Chains A and B, each alone.
Chain A
Amino acid sequence: MLSPADVDRIAALARLELTDEERARFATQLSAILAYADQVQQAETSAAAAEAAAPGDARMRDDLPLPCLDRGLVLSQAPAADRAAGLFKVPRVLGS
């Protein structure tokens, strides 16, 4: 059973701001979902372990320079940007 403190800890990991109402509701709902998901523990998976651990079949390609999106076009979708300098802008990262 997740406590509201657990919910806060997970929300912080996910960078999510929750309302008080969401914190209370999510503690119950996430606990129910995780209790249901616990069913996977019943499965005997030793035969599958090696297979699951094997890498997928993602295809590799040569590392070549190729045409990419226009910088101005990309920056046009940014909430804040210095288009002349070609930069995304964000609020300050350090200090108060």
Chain B
Amino acid sequence: MSLPESASDIRAAVARNEISAVEVCRAALDRIARQDPPLHAFLHVDAERALARAAQLDRDRPADAPLLGVPIALKDNICTAGVKTTAGSRLLEDYLPPYSAHVVERLERAGAVIVGKTNCDEFAMGSSTEHSAFGPTRNPWALDRTPGGSSGGSAVAVASGMVPLALGSDTGGSIRQPAALCGVLGLKPTYGRVSRYGLIAFGSSLDQIGPFGHSARDLAAIAGVIGGHDTRDSTSADAPVPDYAASLTGDVKGLRIGVPRALVADGVDPGVRAAFDASLETLRDAGASLIDVELPHAGLAIPVYYLVANAEASSNLARYDGVRYGARADASTLHDTYYRTRARFGAEVKRRIMIGTFVLSAGYYDAYYLKAHQVRALIRRDYDQAFARVDVVAMPTSPTPAFRLGERTDDPLQMYLVDVFTVSANLAGLPAISIPCGLTDASLPVGLQLTGKPFDEATLLGAAEAVERRIPRRRPTSGSL
């Protein structure tokens, strides 16, 4: 039989013995070999290990394996025991983690086959995947454009059909924005929903792991696998994970969608706006109601985010000192070892460490870091007030479609501004999803972002299913060169 496209169909076919996990794995590896060279979504592919794992599944035939035989790609900041994990950095170029992330253990228990690790901005710091030390990833919809970032490799691996599912991490939009720019779904779960044990830390009060996929059904399957309590992450929530598949009715009758009109009034590309407005009309025609809401402090989300995230990054990245793991530069004293080893960080990582160091330094802490925390509390309160009246809040995921390689790399601030609609969900700890909702005139994908109440991923997935049934989806052409 031919290889099914979706994770759900692959699982069903493997479970019914219509195709083996090894055949599925070979097909994914073939696609990667054929399609990845111009795209550069993958940093490492371990074919031997993946095939051995698939063969094991064919022998064991585990029952109750919701991702049986499904090939999956992981962003390269998620630790895989004995398999290179670089976070897109020269500092971790040869790093072999001594343990696997919680999500890796969960995926393997669910019968998934991890086929490779995907490209990302160095330490997940960026919005275009151009800050990877190993070269950029290209967008399968237009090879001269970026896929977004920082989880650009995972978005492209799914968008181009190399794998049906991938995981990324989202600190300020790093799952949702590349999902939007590549025309796939991307979910950032609630802060605390998915354990970060084994995720290379960037901004610890913001980081969350989540999936990319082509359908709400596939996203629901993997979200159910990776969610849930883990004692190894002190922020992991001990809250039940519902059966997300039960929410995929396609029915949005009575769903109250809040639209922050003032926030999305300016600076949105006309093609993005047209697709966004049309998708809201579609949801209204399907029985949802559109309600104006105000998020008065969300306009400050970008400055707050870049103060909080960089402060946390400067602290988290202090561990890369050339002593315990990672690269070490030659030097005759420990002092010089630190400086020369850390000289190998890329320019964007250095900028962020320096911003973070500055805003935490004596004399500036109150004005920047403490103030940012206070505004963060106000942003959270804005959402609390909105959710008293609505079930979800809608915005475009990104103000623009995919931008050209090199277009924003010379001006860091211009790059930061593309996160304007995504960062507030991280600051407020809320779940948010990007759903493909059409194309611009130039045939570039547009994402509809819905943000939900804490631990209400089910409503987001249900709305995604409703959009999927009503707005026709297309696949990129250049991904299958």
Residues of A near any B CB (own CB < 8 A):
7, 10-11, 13-18, 22, 25-26, 29-30, 32-34, 36-43, 45, 47-49, 51-52, 56, 58-59, 61, 69-70, 73-74, 76-80, 88, 90-93
Contact = CB atoms under 8 A, between A and B. Distances in A.
Given A22-B347, A34-B368, A51-B381, 18 more contacts: A14-B314, A14-B357, A16-B350, A16-B354, A32-B413, A37-B303, A42-B300, A52-B370, A52-B376, A58-B235, A59-B235, A59-B238, A69-B98, A74-B98, A76-B98, A77-B96, A77-B98, A79-B328
Greatest chain B CB density within 10 A among A34, A42, A49, A61 is at A34
B289 interface: no
A33 B355 contact: yes
B333 A92 contact: yes
B234 interface: yes
Contacts of A79: 322-323, 325-328
A91 B300 contact: no
Contacts of B342: 14-17
Nearest to A70: B98
6 contacts: A29-B351, A40-B372, A48-B374, A48-B378, A59-B235, A91-B334
B214 to A, nearest CB: 35
The 9 closest A-B pairs by CB, nearest first: A79-B328, A45-B374, A17-B343, A48-B377, A77-B325, A17-B339, A52-B374, A14-B357, A37-B303
A18 B336 CA distance: 13
B190 to A, nearest CB: 13
Interface in B95-116: 95-99
B324 A34 contact: no
B367 interface: yes
Interface residues of B, number: 66
Interface string B350-372: 11011101110100000110111
Given A30-B355, A61-B234, A93-B333, A15 B368 contact: no
Nearest to B378: A48
Given A17-B343, A43-B297, A69-B99, A88 B231 contact: no
A73 B98 contact: yes
A40 B304 CA distance: 7
A2 B237 CA distance: 42
A78 B325 CA distance: 4
A37 B332 CA distance: 39
A5 to B, nearest CB: 13
B331 interface: yes
Contacts of B28: none
B47 interface: no
Nearest to A61: B231
B26 interface: no
Contact of B95 (A39, A41, A77): A77
A59 B354 contact: no
A89 B205 CA distance: 33
B412 interface: yes
A85 B304 CA distance: 47
B374 A10 contact: no
B307 A40 contact: yes
B387 interface: no
A1 B98 CA distance: 44
